[in-house]
């Protein structure tokens, strides 16, 4: 049964992992996302659904446990925060190369280096442009509420298995730590071993005598074959770009100016829209839900409809703004505003930036 609860973002995510019918979670503590593994350990999911929870010796080990379990057809997840996500990048690249389905979450904190434990959105480049080595992409979902922290677990697993791709829930310290009401979706039963064997013939579940063995690898020493493999990956990413773009338009119908934002910055920008409207400025919000694929086509279309300027609002020195510029492609003014290094901007600052950088700039 779906249930209404008051929860932290990290707890909602953890509860959703159990309800999504996951087979395992492998994690390692790091602020501000440690509640995920704490919640899972306290909930004893092994008794509820048979799900495995294991605290690994490092983020590196955790993502490689995910690689192994995902390669054997199971529904698995890990999560961390920025420095820990950097450690996972090798594994993510292997998972992308070997085309395995998995879900992971980054509750972003300020960087670079050990940075700070306060919220940030400075991992946009890492999340959307690669992160690890090689030509790969991953689907990136950006929740802007505790509700979406839960819902995107379910959606993320579906996308991961549909495309055999790593899916990232790119959250931040605000969304992870804040409490909101959340309607938890009905539990989905875990697949049985037999169902896994039938649904995922590529998975290493033990080779039946006389049949072809399954190999999970990202390696091919023949460069021409590797180029073919890369072309196959690119075709998949193109299909995802075509079919899986998600965004939300708020107060955009008559808007002359748009904030472009995701995650907690979108919540702040939503308030800035209200403040702007109260002053007679026709502002709207283009909220990104998928960061990859980026809603390039829709943004370009909005630009053609007479938007006078876009203000990219993000808790970084300006990362997402580059994709906005590429989408807008010079047809309208684009500027960036954001506090960073763990500082969260206020709606007033966001509005002031619109007035100065776009309207008056």
Partner 1 sequence: MSDITLDQIIKPENLVYTKTKLMTDKVLSYCPGCGHGTAHRITMEVIEELGLEEKTIGIAPVGCSVLAYEFMNIDMQQAAHGRAPAVATGIKRVWPEKIVFSYQGDGDLAAIGTNETIHACNRGEKIVIIFINNGIYGMTGGQMAPTTLPGMKSSTSPYGRDVNVMGNPLKVTELVAQLPGTYFVTRQAVHTPANVRKTKRAIKMAFENQRDGKPGVSFVEIVSNCNSGWKMTPRDANTWMEENMFPFYPLGDIKVDGKLVQK
Interacting residues toward partner 1 by CB under 8 A: 23-24, 26, 52, 54, 56-58, 60-62, 64-72, 74, 76, 90-91, 94, 98, 193, 204-209, 213-219, 221
- Closest to partner 1 by CB, 58 vs 228, is 58
Q: How far is the CB of 313 from partner 1 (least distance, A)?
A: 37
Residue 89 host element (H or E): helix 82-97
Closest CA to 307 of 359, 233, 248, 239: 359
Evaluate whether 324 touches 334 at the Cβ level (below 8 Å). yes
- Closest to partner 1 by CB, 66 vs 320, is 66
Q: How far is the CB of 162 from partner 1 (least distance, A)?
A: 21
Strands 139-141 and 102-108: unpaired
Q: Could you tell me where the DSSP H helices lie in 305-346?
A: 320-328
- Closest to partner 1 by CB, 224 vs 305, is 224
In sequence order, what DSSP letters do the residues of 269-284 get, joined into one string?
HHHHHHHHHHTT--EE
- Closest to partner 1 by CB, 9 vs 71, is 71
Evaluate whether 249 touches 286 at the Cβ level (below 8 Å). yes
Q: How far is the CB of 40 from partner 1 (least distance, A)?
A: 14
Q: How far is the CB of 48 from partner 1 (least distance, A)?
A: 16
Evaluate whether 313 touches 268 at the Cβ level (below 8 Å). yes
Q: How far is the CB of 198 from partner 1 (least distance, A)?
A: 15
Question: Can you tell me the distance from the alpha carbon of 16 to that of 22, in angstroms, rounded to the nearest whole number?
Answer: 9
- Token pair of 131 as six digits: 């992160």
- Closest to partner 1 by CB, 20 vs 261, is 20
Question: Can you tell me the distance from the alpha carbon of 334 to that of 320, in angstroms, rounded to the nearest whole number?
Answer: 11
- Closest to partner 1 by CB, 84 vs 176, is 84
Strands 52-55 and 76-80: unpaired
- Closest to partner 1 by CB, 87 vs 245, is 87
CA atoms within 13 A of residue 166's CA, in its CB half-sphere: 31
Q: How far is the CB of 78 from partner 1 (least distance, A)?
A: 10
Q: How far is the CB of 62 from partner 1 (least distance, A)?
A: 8
Question: Can you tell me the distance from the alpha carbon of 25 to that of 79, in angstroms, rounded to the nearest whole number?
Answer: 8
Distances 6 to 106, 187, 324 between C-alpha atoms, Å: 22, 18, 35
| Block residue for tokens 């776009």 | 358
Give the distance, in angstroms, between the CA of residue 126 and the centroid of all CA atoms in the same chain: 11
- Closest to partner 1 by CB, 69 vs 358, is 69
Q: How far is the CB of 243 from partner 1 (least distance, A)?
A: 29
């Amino acid at each position: 049964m779906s249930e209404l609860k008051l929860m932290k973002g990290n707890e909602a995510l953890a509860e959703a992992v159990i309800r999504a019918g996951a087979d395992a979670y492998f994690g390692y503590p790091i602020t501000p996302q440690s509640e995920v593994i704490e919640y899972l350990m306290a909930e004893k999911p092994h008794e509820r659904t048979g799900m495995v929870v294991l605290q690994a010796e490092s983020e590196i080990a955790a993502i490689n446990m995910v690689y192994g379990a995902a390669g054997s057809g199971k529904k698995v997840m890990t999560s961390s925060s920025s420095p820990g996500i950097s450690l996972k990048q090798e594994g993510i690249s292997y998972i992308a190369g070997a085309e395995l389905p998995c879900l992971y979450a980054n509750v972003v904190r300020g960087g670079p280096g050990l940075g700070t434990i306060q919220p940030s959105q400075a991992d946009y480049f890492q999340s959307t442009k690669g992160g690890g080595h090689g030509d790969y992409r991953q689907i990136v979902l950006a929740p802007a509420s505790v509700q979406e922290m839960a819902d995107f677990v379910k959606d993320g697993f579906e996308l991961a298995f549909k495309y055999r791709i790593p899916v990232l829930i790119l959250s931040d310290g605000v969304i992870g730590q804040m409490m909101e009401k959340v309607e938890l979706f009905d539990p989905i039963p875990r697949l049985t071993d037999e169902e896994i064997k039938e649904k995922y013939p590529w998975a290493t579940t033990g080779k039946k005598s006389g049949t072809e063995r399954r190999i999970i690898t990202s390696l091919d020493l023949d460069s021409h074959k590797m180029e073919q493999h890369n072309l196959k990956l690119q075709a998949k990413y193109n299909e995802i770009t075509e079919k899986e773009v998600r965004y939300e338009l708020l107060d955009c119908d008559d808007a002359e100016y748009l904030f472009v934002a995701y995650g907690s910055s979108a919540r702040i920008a939503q308030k800035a829209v209200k403040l702007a409207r109260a002053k007679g400025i026709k502002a709207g919000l283009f909220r990104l839900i998928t960061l990859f694929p980026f809603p390039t086509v829709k943004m370009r279309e909005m630009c053609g409809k007479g938007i006078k300027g876009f203000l990219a609002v993000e808790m970084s020195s300006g990362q997402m703004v580059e994709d906005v510029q590429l989408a807008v492609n010079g047809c309208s003014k684009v500027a960036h505003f954001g506090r960073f290094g763990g500082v969260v901007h206020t709606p007033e600052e966001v509005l002031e930036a619109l007035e100065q950088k776009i309207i008056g700039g």
